[in-house]
Amino acid sequence: MKPFRMKTNYHTHTTFCDGAASPERMIEAALEKGFAALGFSTHSDIVKDLEAYKTEIRSLAAKYAGRIKVLCGVEAEYDTGFKRGDLDYVIGSTHYLTVPDGSRFAFDHTPQILMDGIRAFFGGDASAFVRAYFAQEREMIGNYDCDVIGHVDLVRKFNLKHPFFDETAPWYRAEIEKTADAIASSGKIVEVNTGAIARGWQTDAYPSAEMRALLRERGVRFILSSDAHAPKTLDFAFDRFADAEDYVTEPRPCAMRGA
């Protein structure tokens, strides 16, 4: 295994949303694990107090300056129109699919909710659901002001344990190709997210090996993250994915262009 140029994780959650630990406990754990930088990405829709969150992370960034770089970001529900303001970076994520009747379908909550939703909103046609997901994802990629695309193929979450569509089907390949094209023209960064492996749903990261290959061919840049909700998963499966890509170590495309 080649050593990390710099060990980083910018997709983490704390007790400000649905994480198990305080920001400071996460920072201490990151220091023990040899991280050079740690970013917090609270959920934009369930953060308890965004201003208090920002104040806390900024003061910890100052306290730990020189030991570890601490950034204050957000994992945004793009369809709520969340604006970046003075945050250091934004991860754009699609946890809810807007369905024809206007409701938001929480397709990644449980396999049962997923199956019920496919029946209720897509007449039981799983491929129609998956295509609608990627259409919404491309809408975000093309139009939303974010830096990193979060778990781009989240639609795969339950597909290993509760198979509901064929990831080798030509129509699926066409969807991920179109999505890879959209990402390449957006200039946004894609995270290689190990969170579903940590939670036992998947054996591969988001995006899948197949989609990573498509993105790599198009020159898209990757950043490694674990979507950690607790200190112990801060670098979950990083050793498995460390070699795979030349990861960027900053979650901001503009900063990296040297602007």
Would you call 145 exposed, middle or buried from its count of C-beta atoms within 10 A (0-12, 13-18, 19+)? exposed
Measured from the CB atom, is 227 or 235 closer to Zn ion? 227
What is d(CA 127, CA 130) in angstroms, rounded to the nearest whole number?
A: 5
Measured from the CB atom, is 17 or 214 closer to Zn ion? 17
Q: Min. distance of Cβ 12 from Zn ion in angstroms?
A: 8
Q: How distant, in Å, are the alpha carbons of 167, 196, 222, 240, 245 from that of 66?
A: 45, 32, 26, 29, 27
* Residue 42 interacts with Zn ion (CB under 5 A): yes or no: no
> Per CB under 5 A, which region of 87-95, 182-190, 209-217, 235-243 contacts Zn ion?
87-95
* Residue 93 interacts with Zn ion (CB under 5 A): yes or no: yes
Measured from the CB atom, is 127 or 230 closer to Zn ion? 230
Q: Min. distance of Cβ 163 from Zn ion in angstroms?
A: 22
For Zn ion, the binding residues in 66-85 under the rule CB under 5 A are 75
Q: Min. distance of Cβ 2 from Zn ion in angstroms?
A: 27
Measured from the CB atom, is 40 or 122 closer to Zn ion? 40
Measured from the CB atom, is 80 or 185 closer to Zn ion? 80
Beta 104-105 vs 97-98: how paired, if at all? antiparallel
Measured from the CB atom, is 48 or 67 closer to Zn ion? 48
What is d(CA 130, CA 144) in angstroms, rounded to the nearest whole number?
A: 20
Q: How distant, in Å, are the alpha carbons of 37, 114, 188, 220, 252 from that of 191?
A: 16, 24, 10, 10, 12
Q: Which amino acid is at 33?
A: K
* Dihedrals phi, psi of 204, to nearest 5 degrees: -120, 160
* Residue 153 interacts with Zn ion (CB under 5 A): yes or no: no
What is d(CA 134, CA 153) in angstroms, rounded to the nearest whole number?
A: 8
For Zn ion, the binding residues in 194-233 under the rule CB under 5 A are 227
Q: How many residues bind Zn ion (CB under 5 A)?
A: 3
> Per CB under 5 A, which region of 28-36, 93-101, 132-140, 205-213 contacts Zn ion?
93-101
Beta 97-98 vs 37-43: how paired, if at all? unpaired
Q: Min. distance of Cβ 225 from Zn ion in angstroms?
A: 8
CA 36 to chain centroid, in Å, comes to 20
Q: Min. distance of Cβ 16 from Zn ion in angstroms?
A: 12
* Dihedrals phi, psi of 106, to nearest 5 degrees: -85, 70
Q: Min. distance of Cβ 13 from Zn ion in angstroms?
A: 6
Binding site for Zn ion (CB under 5 A): 75, 93, 227
